[in-house]
Amino acid sequence: MNYLKPLVVLICITVFSCKSDKKESNSNFNETIEKEEVSEVETINNESHKTEVGSEKKQEDIEKVITVTETSASSVTINPIFHGTLVLEYENVVLYIDPVGGAEAFKDQKPPSLILITDIHGDHLNIETLEAISTNGSKIIAPLAVADKLPSELRSKTSVLSNFLSKNYTIGKAKLSIEAIPMYNLREEALKFHPKNRGNGYVLTLGNERVYISGDTEDIPEMRQLKNIDIAFVCMNLPYTMTVESAADAVLEFKPKKVYPYHYRGTNGFSDVKKFKAIVNDKNSAIEVIQDEWYEKPDEV
């Protein structure tokens, strides 16, 4: 029976060795899982900027990212050109409003994504300018009366928009909407200039901002009833549109955050935009009246 003792010892050693190997293997397996879980958690936390290490620095980075994002999302750049002509930029979108003056007037501007035309008169619709600035990728938005006056090449890229209708656009990553608003005269002696339902004013929704372009109009009910306008471009010139007093009264009613007097040269010279500002701010100082350079300064004598 003595031969059994070595056998028992050998079996015990083998069993103990197997248990030890299994324990070491389990330990390595658990360590691997823990490492993978930690790595996954770190990746998630890094993406959401919640990692505890260096929290002050990361919080500072978060604030910077948020600030830049918010500013970019609501940024509209305004470039006055002349009289009723302007260029707006929002993210990667460039909008030309009533472009006149030939290619030279836009030599410092980016090519247009969208071209908006309000009416048929020469200070709003100029076919030579449209042919000079229009690109293969640009689209024209206009009332039917304007579209009917365009040559076939320009007409083919024109989207007709009638009063109270709107269109949504996605250009690159930017989303915007364009709504056509009535523009017309109220005074009996001025009805011949801008009859109802011919031209368009526009309300543009660019990100978080709403921009109103009056076109040639008087202080019509549709203007007075506008809501939540951040930036307004309001005309004021006789005999074609309205008086400074009428423009100010309408602005005080629909209360834009900012208003630009534009299109203010009439048959007898320039309207008094300083008076417009005084009337508005005397009754509502919260409305910012911005007097920009829309006309060339006269040569000094």
Q: What DSSP letter does each residue of 143-172 carry, written as one string?
A: -HHHHTTS-HHHHTTEEE--TT-EEEEEET
**Residue 115: what pLDDT?**
98
Q: What domains, with CATH codes, occur in the chain? A: 71-289 (3.60.15.10)
Q: Are 203 and 210 in contact (CB under 8 A)?
A: yes
Residue 244: which of 229, 257, 263, 227 has the closest Cα? 263
120, 199 Cβ separation under 8 angstroms:
yes
pLDDT score at 26: 41
Per-residue burial over 239-251, b if 16 or more Cβ lie within 10 Å, else e, is ebbbbbeebbbbb
Query: What span, in angstroms and rounded, lies between the C-alpha atoms of 102 and 118?
Result: 17
Give the alpha-carbon dihedral of 229, 230, 236, 240, to 10 degrees.
-50
DSSP state of 111: P
Q: Note whether 166 and 176 are within 8 A (CB).
A: no
* Each residue's pLDDT tens digit, 205-259: 999 999 999 999 999 999 999 999 999 999 999 899 999 999 999 999 999 999 9
For the segment 45-84, what is each residue's pLDDT rounded down to a tens digit? 223 333 233 333 333 333 333 223 233 344 899 999 999 9
User: In this structure, are residues 201 and 85 in contact, taking their beta carbons and an 8 Å threshold?
Assistant: no
Report the mean per-residue pLDDT for the chain: 79
Q: Rounded mean pLDDT of 261-290?
A: 94
Is residue 201 over pLDDT 50? Answer: yes
Mean pLDDT of the region 121-125: 92
Q: What is the pTM of this model?
A: 0.74
Q: Radius of gyration (Cα) for the chain, nearest Å?
A: 33
Half-sphere exposure of 136 (CA within 13 A, CB side): 0
DSSP letters, 40-61, are: HHHHHHHHHT--STTHHHHHHH
How far is CA 34 from each of CA 20, 27, 30, 45, 50, rounded to the nearest angstrom?
21, 11, 6, 16, 20
Indicate the pLDDT class of residue 188, thresholds 50, 70 and 90: confident
Whole-angstrom distance, CA of residue 167 vs CA of residue 176:
9
For the chain, give the percent of residues with pLDDT over 70. 74
Q: How confident is the model at residue 297 (pLDDT cuts 50, 70, 90)?
A: low
Ranges 14-23, 58-67, 106-115, 241-250: which has the least confidence: 58-67
Q: How far apart are CA 284 and CA 46, in angstroms?
A: 48
pLDDT at 29 over 60: no
What letter would DSSP give residue 219? S
